[in-house]
Amino acid sequence: MVVGDAHLGSADIRDEEAFHELLDAVPALGSRLIVMGDLFDFWFEYRAVIPRRPFHTLTKLALLVERGISVDVFGGNHDRWGGDFWAEDLKIPFHADGADLTVAGRTAHVAHGDGLAEQTLGGKLIHRITRSRITVGAFRRLHPDFGFKLANRLSGGLAESNKSPEAMDAAADAQETWARALFDARPELQLVLLAHTHRQRLVEVEPGRFYVNAGQWMSDRGYAVITPEQILPLRWPARA
């Protein structure tokens, strides 16, 4: 199962409660969960400190791993600053950038998708900020209470400048164009999974080769189920 752009911490509490229901249902939907980035509206992992607000979600992810579910988490432009807490404490691989995976027997390239098709200055700025070593180093020196308060203020302002329907639609089109070019460049790929644009898409670029965006969980509650036989874009509480 694939899900992304939940933005927990800023989303409606009902979306968060529904997301936890989805996590509880994962074992009935498949043996693997891929979280496509922006799971949290902000995440920063200090060496000895992790955020308090996501505790319930982290606990549910850890329980999935204990039940034998394979979980991969990708960092998005809001929550890319993960560290060894994920792999060492939760036993969950954390991918700060894109990665090649085998998904339901298909050779796949998986990435959050920011930086590929930004349409606004705010989006381009967030993309640069989240990848800057200077930003990460400076932020690590801040007291966590102050750091998270600052990040919450910046996150809201920059995000709003990047969320007009026209900008998101244009970004979704540009993302699909990028995925098609990647298929051309890499004939071994059967699947490209992206998120970030909050637009759910399933495109069969060529027979047996698919571009998939599971859409946003926040508000829309979109997700996708991928099996060797089919790919289903869904909205909770629908099940495959």
The pLDDT of residue 204 is 98
Say how far apart CA 28 and CA 235 lie, in whole Å: 16
Predicted local confidence at residue 164, as pLDDT: 76
Q: Is residue 71 part of a domain?
A: yes
> Domain containing 72: what range?
2-235
Query: According to the model, what pLDDT value does residue 10 have?
Result: 84
The angle that helices 144-160 and 121-130 make with each other, rounded to 10 degrees, is 150
Q: For residue 161, what pLDDT is reported?
A: 47
Does residue 13 lie within any of the structural domains?
yes
Residue 98, helix vs strand vs coil? coil
- 67 assigned to some structural domain: yes
Task: Provide the number of structural domains found in the chain.
Answer: 1
Instruction: Kindly list the strands in the beta sheet with 106-110, ordered across the sheet, starting from the edge strand earlier in the chain.
Output: 99-103, 106-110, 191-194, 209-213, 201-206
Residue 194 belongs to some domain of the structure: yes
The Cα 86–Cα 63 span in angstroms is 13
**Is 98 within the bounds of a domain?**
yes
Residue 159, phi then psi, degrees to nearest 5: -65, -40
Return the amino acid letter for 108. A
Nearest CA-CA partner of 76 in 60, 51, 94, 101? 94
Block means of pLDDT (10 residues each) for the chain, 240 residues, are 94 90 94 96 86 93 97 93 93 96 98 79 66 81 84 62 75 94 98 96 97 95 96 83
Is 176 inside any structural domain? yes
Q: Is residue 87 part of a domain?
A: yes
The pLDDT assigned to 45 comes to 87
* Spatial contact of 26 and 1, defined as CB atoms under 8 Å apart: yes
Tell me the CATH number at 135. Answer: 3.60.21.10
What tokens appear for 7 in the block? 């933005």
Q: Considering the domain boundaries, does residue 240 fall inside one? A: no
The torsion angles phi and psi of 104, rounded to 5 degrees, stand at 50, 40
The pair of structure tokens assigned to 182 is 């990647």
DSSP state of 85: I
